[in-house]
Structure formats: C-alpha cells, structure tokens
A and B are shown apart, each in its own frame.
Chain A
Amino acid sequence: MNELRDNSDVGELIQFIVIKIDDEQYGINIKYIDNIVRMQQITRVPKVDDYLKGVINIRGEIVPVMSVRMKMGLAEDEITGKSRIIILKTGEGDLVGIIVDQVNQVLTLDTNNIEKVRYDDKKGSGQAKFVGGVGHYDGGLVSILDLDAVVSEKEVKEKTSNAS
C-alpha cells in the first residue's frame, strides 16, 4: 500500500471512497476495497484485542472486523442504519473489515492534488497517525486514510488519553 504515497509526479486520477468516522472525513483508495457491506452480526472472538470486534462471513470466507474508532482511540462505535463495514484487501491478499460510521461519496482526485504527510510528521498521536495524505477538491479537504497503519496489528497506546 506504499504506492499510495509514491505516484504523485504522474498526475494520475485516483478514485477514493469518502467515509465518515466520528466527525472527520477520510478517503480510501478504491483499489484496496473489496466490498462494502451493511452492518451485520459479528461473531465475537474471545481473548483478542478490544478493537477486533470479531469475524463475519463474506462469501464463505471468515473475515476479521476491526473498529477504526477504537483503534484511533475514539469512543466505541454507535451502530446506526448508516454504519457500514468496508472490506479491505491487505497486501498478502487477506481480507479485513473496518467499521465506519457512514459512506458518503466517491471522489476522483488528481495525484497532484494530494499532499503527502511525511512519516516524521505522523509521530503525533490519535487520528493523525492514520492519515497518509490530504487531498484537495472543490468541496474542501479530505484526509487519505493510511491503510497500513489502520490494519497493522500494533496496539494503540494512547487510547484513553485521546478519546474525545
């Protein structure tokens, strides 16, 4: 998923799905998305990290589902009719689902209009470390979700301190 930060010089058009987590808008590069499904019953798996909500059945495959909110150190998900699970394809070809509050739109961005956030800048805590870049479009700004950070297995330390 590093390509996300690499192909800036070309001026290529990339489609993003814009989702809402908490009050913030995030873009996810469409090529990493396998599927978007409605909220469904998640089978709890005991003795795993809190942010792992469990597993769901996607076309006969067992797919783990994680809460981005909890990973970001936000309050627990409030499941509404707008909640969706976005099924992402990880680098190794595994699927993993993330719960989002809402799916808003599809956005096409020119890579020239995406400003990369350098890795050094991401030392900050909370949501900031999940942002891989910022995209400019007519309507404003959208944070590009750094999927590597989202699906990595690293525990989020500052969970409580940043809960707002």
Chain B
Amino acid sequence: MDVSQYLSVFLDEAKEHLQSLNDNIMTLEQDPENEDCINEIFRSAHSMKGMAGTMGYTRMQNLTHDMEDVFSDVRGGKIKIKSADIDVLLQCLDAIQGYVDNITENQDEGTDEHQNIIKALADIRNGVTGGDGGDAAEAAPAAEAPAAGGASSADGASDYKAIKLDPSVKSTLEEAVSQGKKLYGVTVHIQESCILKAARGFLVFKGLEEIGEIAVSDPSTQDIEDEKFDYSFSLILITDESKEKVEEIVKAVSEVEGCECGEFDLGSAKTTEDKEEAPAAPAAEAAPAPATQAPAPAAASKQAPAPAAGAAGGKKPVGKPVVNRTVRVDIEKLDVLMNLVSELIIAKNSLISAANTSGVSNGNVNEQIEYLESVTTNLHESVMKVRMVPIESVLQKFPRMIRDLNKTLGKKMELTMTGEETEMDRTVVDEIGDPLMHLIRNSADHGIESAEIRAQRGKPEVGQIFLHAFQDGNSVVIEVGDDGNGIDAEAVKNKAIEKGVVTPDQAALLTEKQCVELLFHPGFSTAKQVSEISGRGVGLDVVKSKVESLSGEVTVRTKLGEGSTWVIRLPLTLAIIQALMVIIGEEKYAIPLDSIQSIEDVSPADIKFVENKEVINLRGSVLPLIRLNEVLDTESKRNPDEDMVVVIARKGDQQVGLVIDELMGQQEIVIKPLGKYTNKCKLISGATILGDGEIALILDTNSIF
C-alpha cells in the first residue's frame, strides 16, 4: 500500500498528538488524578498507535501501544501515576518525537527499538517505579544517536566511482575513449563553512569545461545550481589534459576543501552499475531522491548503522526533509473568508450599478471596474479551490464494502473507480458519502444478477460495478453503475400501482423514462424480498433529497438486461453562482444559469392545450408552460397579446417553459439563506442582494418540475 501521499497528514497529526501528550502529561504531573487528562492521553496514544500502524512504522506503533496500555490501566484504576513515572512517560514522548523527526527527514522511522523505555513502561504497569526511570533517561539519548545516524547515513560522501551511467552517457564516454581522450572522475569537497556552495560548484564546472567536456555529474548540474547537494559532488570529465591539471583547476576555486581525481575506468563502471542494481531498489524506497545516486554507502549503513553514524553524524542529513507544505485550517475560517469574498462581490455589483446610474461611465471608470471584476472573480475561484478536497476520502471505503457484499450476497463483483482526485467543496464531500453508498449497494443488490443468470446471458462471471467522478464545466458528475440487470420499467410500474404511488390510469400514460423515475418516489422498493443491504424503501428517495439539498440532481440511464447508470450532478460551489435576472410582475428574481437551456420569444397564438394545461412546441418537443407570476402569486405587467418571454429550464432530460415578464441580464450573485421563517417556500432557494441593496429571491427551478 502506497501511503506516501498521507505522509504530510500523518506528520501533521503526529505533531499535534505529541503536543497534546506533552501538555497533558505535564498537567498530570501537577494533578495525577485528573481524569480528563488521562482520557485525553489515552486517546492520543491510541490514535498515534493506529496512525503509525497504518503507515507501517512498527517501532513507533509498539512504543505507543505500550504507552496506551499504561494509560488503559490507569483509566481502569489498576495503577496510579506517580511523579517518577512522569519522567519515563516524557522520555517515551522524546523517543516518539525521535521517530517522527526521522520520518520527517527521510520517511523512515529509524531502527531504535527503545527497549529500555518499553521495559520502563512495563514496570509502571507492574507497579515498579523509580530506579528504572533514571536508567531509561540515560539510555534514551544514547540510543537515539544511532537512529539519527541511520537516518542520515545515506548522506555518504559523494564518490565519482559510484556515479551511475545512463546508456547514452556511456556511449558518449566510449566514443571519447575511442578518440583517444582521457576520462577523469573527479569528486570535489567544498568546505562546510561555505555559504555559496552553488557558486563554487559553478566555478568548478566552468574551469573544467575550459579544458574538456563534463559528461555527467552527480548530483545533476541543475541540482548543483539549486544547491541541492551537501558538501561534495562528483563528475566525469572528458579531456586531453593531465590529471594534475584537472586537480589544479579544481583547487584554484576558493573554499574547495579538496578533490579526489582519478582515471575513470569505463570497464569497472559497468560492473559497478550492474552490482548496484539490486541494493539500489530498496534504498530508493527509503530515501528516494538522493539515495539512488549514492546507493553503496546507503546499503552499507543499513547493516552497520553505528559506524555510519560516527562518520556521517556531524553532517547534514541527506534526504530532503519532507517539508510541511500544508496548513490545516478550521473550515469556519474558510467560511468567514468565503463570506468576505461574497461581500466583496456584492460591493463590486453595487459599484457597477452606482457607476451606471450616476452616469460617470467614462472609459477609465469602466476599465477599472472591469479590472475589479476580474480580480474578484479570480479571488472567488481561489478561495473556492482552497475549500475543495478530493472526493477520494469518501470513496476509500467502497472497495472494502464491495468485498464484504461479495460475501453477504454470494455474488461475484468488482468495483472500479476513476476520478478519485476530482475535487469538490468540503461541505459537499462530507455529505455525498451516504448517497453514493446507497447507489453502490443498490447496484450490488439489485443490479448485478446471480452467477447463473449472468452465465445464461453470456456475461462474464464477475459483475462490474463502476464509479466515475469527473468535472464537467461548473459541476462535478459522479456516475455509479453496473453491468447487471438494468431496470425493468414494467416491473416498476406494476409495483408503483401496487403500492398506490400511481393509479393504473396514471400509470398507463407514463413513458418508460417516467416509470423509472418512480424509483425515486418515497417509500418505494422493487426488491422482491427485503434484504439486509437495500430494499427497505429508504434509499433512492433519500439519495434524491440529499443530492437536491446540495443543489444537485440525480438521474438514471438504464437498459434492461445490460445495466444501469446513476448520474449525480453537483454544483462546484454553493455560495456564488451565475444567474439570469428576470422581472416578474414588479419583482426581481434570479434564476441559476446552470438550469437554463435557452430563452425564447413565444407568441400567445402558439400556446396549445394538453389536458387543459398550456404547452408549447419548441423545435419538435412539447413542453409544459408555467406562468411564474401565477406560481409566485403576483400580477403580470405584460400585455397578454404580446409575445411572451419564456425561459426554458431543464432538469435532466426534462424541459419546462417559464413565462416571465422581462429579462434584466446575467449577473454573478451571492446566495444568502432566507432564514428560518421564510424558508418554507420550496420555490425559493435563497436570496441575493443586488447592486443597489435591493433583495432578489432565487428561484429553484428544480422544484417546479
């Protein structure tokens, strides 16, 4: 399992836990009976054990495990913490800190077992205290040294003999030899007091390039220029000059401590390379970047950490430390930031409307406003991105779930997921887990057929369930599907009639698609028998309402016998959207642009009636017409004989024509909640403040369908 991506999170949390342990143990020293403290320590130790175990740091896991045991006993009232024990506990923390430091530097916890501390902890549990603590105190720092050595052992002085040759470099060298040129391996050591290592390296390169050609260097030229090396580097030079001349040039550069120079033997280089192939691989895992280039010392130091520690102890650790590039921020702070951005956008809108009404629309003002507009839009996007997290965290539990379902259902199936890295707003990610789980379970339970039926239908034995997530414009789409049975529209229809969801007369009029949509009706389940996994009649309607509460929509595509796919479409952001501003009666409303397909002028003469309801025929498809002024209890100001302005809204594949009075234009709006008294109206999803301070309500077109 590749856990490297979680390393920064692990380190962040480990540091937090260590801090909390430190604080709490200190408090405990003052107040040994403090139960809150003891519980907190227990929890922290427990979490750290789990984290270390997951990351594969077994030594750290063992130590934290023993610590947890001690506090488990303390909690159970079996033992009491005495002041002498505090020392042992603090040493234990230091040892854990040592592991964490090692991991920070080279992603390896080091080799020290801290047996003495483990023993001391065991003694606490057995009620022996005092003397041992002191022992451990002395032993701990001593024991830590080799661990640190192990950490930095890969440092190994750079050595030209260890330079690995690419085939292309090798052929260059071979060609040079065949032309009678000489190959020198040079290892340059720079004084540790040197401040501008890169500059010295550059001077060495420059000097040597005057007399020949540098075929290869270790580290690479780029890394040397970026100071990504310790105090020595190696290179291979192709030249006609003598070895002495080479040494002279290198030593002429100030702050060079010394250099080793020798003829580079292509033949032996070849064998070195072959030999190193094997040890290089494991070493590379431990400390990727630098260790690959100096594998020999690294491998050696693993077998004999102590001497290596002596040799390399004083030097800087080689691995580029895993620098903590993340800042964990409370989501509330981000909410505040997002609100401020919203305010800024409102202020910008006010400025635009003020400039328009006061007539100061000279070119310069407009230019500046446009600039402001692009800044606020970018700012909004950046803040939005900060709030986004990959949906991976939600998807992780699904493979395991499918494995368990394989057993409980006795079906063979496989889950494939793509797009785990797709990012969404944190709040959406937190909410979307359950709906997705419902859909996957649904696919497993109802979708995938039993092995016999699959065989009859000529499908592969193992059923496929898939989950694809991807970004599509301003929304994120998550598709969950299977290659199973598909949805039998007839069966759904019959079931719906049986359950009283629709009357037989109504059912007769339903299209196949509408039948399938009945599945989302509350209290509906087609499972012939209620199973443990799904089929309690809660599920799809819950999925639907959850997704809709996140301003998203869910639809289904299905083909009987071939499988079905559920498509969830969610907006990228919930707070700021593009909207079409319209006037109905004397009131202003905002319609989210996402849900609008087109805007049409329709003559009243084109209105047809189907079942006493107004419809229009728009390019071959018949869609219902809804007069928004009626829905919103207001008077239309438009002359009924005039052409109507109709906004065509869509939801999935359905369309509806919304009759409005007037169009105002497109605007970026900030969604504000309506507050608890006025949110009863399903048609209104929120409100927004316009440039002039006026409030416009936001229409939730989804609720009109």
- Residues of A whose CB lies within 8 Å of any CB of B are 41, 43-49, 52, 54-57, 60-64, 66, 94-96, 153
Cα A45 to Cα B697 in complex, Å, equals 8
B interface residues (Cβ-Cβ under 8 A, vs A): 343, 346, 587, 631-634, 672-678, 680-684, 687, 689, 693-697
Interface contact B343-A43, CB-CB below 8 Å:
no
Known: A43-B697, A44-B587, A46-B632. A61 touches B681 (CB 8 A): no
A46/B683 in contact, CB under 8 A: yes
Cβ–Cβ < 8 Å partners of B681 in chain A: 45-48
From A47, which residue of chain B is reached at the shortest CB distance? B681
Structural contact, B675 and A60, CB atoms closer than 8 A: no
| Contact across chains for A94 and B675 when beta carbons are under 8 A apart | yes
> Is the Cβ of B695 less than 8 Å from the Cβ of A62?
yes
The CA-CA distance from A61 to B587 in the complex, in Å, is 19
Given known A46-B632, A61-B672, contact A52–B694 (CB-CB < 8 A): no
Q: Is the interface of B mostly helix, strand, loop or mixed?
A: loop
Inter-subunit contact B634/A43 (CB<8 Å): no
Cβ of A37 to closest chain B Cβ, rounded Å: 12
Q: Which residues of B contact A60 (CB under 8 A)?
A: 343, 346, 689
Q: Which of A47, A49, A54, A66 contacts B633 (CB 8 A)?
A: A47
Which A residues touch B633, using CB under 8 A? 46-47
> Hey, which chain B residues are within 8 Å of A46, CB to CB?
631-634, 681, 683-684
- Chain A hits for B697, CB < 8 A: 43, 45
Given A43-B697, A46-B632 in contact, is the A62-B677 Cβ separation under 8 Å?
no
CB-CB under 8 A from B684, the residues of chain A are 45-46
Expressed in whole angstroms, the minimum distance between the Cβ of A52 and any Cβ of chain B is 6
Q: If the complex has contacts A60-B689, A62-B675, A64-B677, are A55 and B695 also in contact, measured as CB distance less than 8 A?
A: yes
Known contacts being A44-B587, A46-B633, A57-B689, is A64 close to B674, with CB within 8 Å? yes
Selected contact of A96 from candidates B677, B680, B693, B695, CB within 8 Å: B677
Are A43 and B675 in contact, CB atoms less than 8 angstroms apart?
Answer: no
Known contacts A41-B694, A43-B694, A57-B694; is-contact A62 B672 (Cβ 8 Å): yes
Residues of B within 8 A of A57 (CB): 689, 693-695
| Contact across chains for A48 and B677 when beta carbons are under 8 A apart | yes
Are A62 and B673 in contact, with the CB atoms below 8 A? yes
**A51 shortest CB reach to chain B, Å:** 9
Other A-B pairs beyond A43-B695, A46-B633, 7, CB < 8 Å: A43-B687, A43-B694, A48-B680, A52-B677, A60-B346, A62-B687, A64-B674
A-B contact pairs, 27 of them (CB 8 A): A43-B587, A43-B694, A43-B696, A45-B674, A46-B631, A46-B633, A46-B634, A46-B683, A46-B684, A47-B683, A48-B678, A48-B680, A52-B678, A54-B678, A55-B674, A55-B687, A57-B689, A60-B343, A60-B689, A62-B675, A62-B695, A64-B674, A64-B676, A64-B677, A64-B678, A66-B677, A153-B677
B678 touches A45 (CB 8 A): yes
| B693 vs chain A, min Cβ distance (A) | 6
Complex Cα gap A55–B674 (Å): 8
Residues of B with C-beta under 8 A to A54 = 678
Closest to A153 in B: B677
Most buried by A among B343, B673, B678, B684: B678
CB distance from A132 to the nearest CB of B (A): 20
Residues of A within 8 Å of B683, CB to CB, are 46-47
Q: How many Å from the CB of A47 to the closest CB on chain B?
A: 4
Rounded to whole Å, the gap between the CB of B590 and the closest CB of chain A is 12
**Contact with A47, one of B677, B680, B694 (Cβ below 8 angstroms):** B680
Residues of B within 8 A of A41 (CB): 694
**Contact of B675 with A63 in the complex, beta carbons under 8 Å:** yes
Please list the 8 inter-chain residue pairs (A to B) with the smallest Cβ-Cβ separation, ordered nearest first: A47-B681, A43-B695, A64-B677, A46-B632, A45-B678, A64-B678, A62-B672, A62-B687
Closest chain-A Cβ to B674's Cβ sits at a distance in Å of 6
CA distance in complex: A96, B677 (Å) = 9
Across-interface contacts of B674 in A (CB, < 8 A) = 45, 55, 62, 64
Task: Please report the C-alpha to C-alpha distance between residue A95 and residue B677 in the assembled complex, in whole angstroms.
Answer: 10
A43→B588 CA distance, assembly (Å): 9
For B675, what are the chain A residues with a Cβ–Cβ distance below 8 Å? Answer: 55, 62-64, 94-96
Measured CB to CB, the closest approach of chain B to A83, in angstroms, equals 19
Tell me which residues across on chain B come within 8 A of A66, comparing CB atoms: 677
Bound state CA distance, A40 and B682, in angstroms? Answer: 26
Q: A54: shortest Cβ distance to chain B, in Å? A: 8
Q: How far is the CA of A43 from the CA of B676 in the complex (A)?
A: 16
Chain B residues near A64 (CB-CB < 8 A) = 674-678
- What chain B residues lie within 8 Å of A45 (beta carbons)? 674, 678, 681, 684, 697
Distance between Cα atoms of A64 and B673 in the complex (Å): 11
Closest-CB distance, A99 to chain B (whole angstroms): 14
**Which chain A residue lies CB-closest to B586?**
A44
Complex Cα distance A44/B587, Å?
Answer: 8
Residue ID in chain A nearest B670 by CB atoms: A60
Distance in angstroms from B703 CB to nearest chain A CB is 11
Measured between beta carbons, the chain B residues less than 8 angstroms from A43 are 587, 687, 694-697
- Smallest beta-carbon distance A36→chain B, Å: 18
Complex formed: what's the CA distance from A123 to B167 in Å?
A: 96
Complex: how many Å from CA A45 to CA B678?
7
Contacts of A63 in B (CB 8 A): 675
Q: In the bound complex, what is the Cα–Cα distance between A48 and B687 (angstroms)?
A: 15
Q: Roughly how many angstroms separate A106 CA and B681 CA in the complex, as a whole number?
A: 38
Which residues of chain A are within 8 angstroms of B682 by Cβ–Cβ distance?
47
Q: When chains A and B are docked, how far (Å) is the Cα of A66 from the Cα of B677?
A: 9
| Complex CA distance for A60 and B672, rounded to whole angstroms | 9
The interface residues of chain A lying within 8 Å CB-to-CB of B587 are 43-44
Chain B residues with CB below 8 A from A49, complex form = 680
- Chain B residue nearest in CB terms to A51: B677
A43 to B695, CA, bound (A): 6
Q: Bound complex: CA of A61 vs CA of B346, how far in Å? A: 11
User: Nearest chain-B residue to A53 (Cβ)?
Assistant: B678
Complex CA gap A46/B687 in Å reads 12
Q: Which residues of B contact A52 (CB under 8 A)?
A: 677-678
Residues of A with C-beta under 8 A to B687: 43, 55, 62
Residues of chain A lying within 8 A (CB to CB) of residue B672: 61-62
- In Å, the complex CA distance between A60 and B684 comes to 19
Q: Which single residue of chain A is at the shortest CB-CB distance from B695?
A: A43
* Residue among A45, A47, A48, A94 with most chain B CB within 10 A: A45
Q: Which residue of B lies closest to A43 (CB)?
A: B695
Please report the C-alpha to C-alpha distance between residue A64 and residue B587 in the assembled complex, in whole angstroms.
Answer: 17
Most buried by B among A47, A66, A153: A47
A46 CA to B697 CA, complexed, in Å: 10
Closest chain A CB from B612 CB (angstroms): 23
Shortest CB distance A85–B (Å) = 14
| CB of A34, distance to nearest CB on chain B (Å) | 14
Bound: A3/B684 CA distance, A = 36
| Docked pose: A140 CA to B676 CA in angstroms | 37
Q: How far is the CA of A61 from the CA of B634 in the complex (A)?
A: 25
**Which residues of chain B come closer than 8 Å to A55, judged between CB atoms?**
674-675, 678, 687, 695
A97 to chain B, nearest CB (A): 10
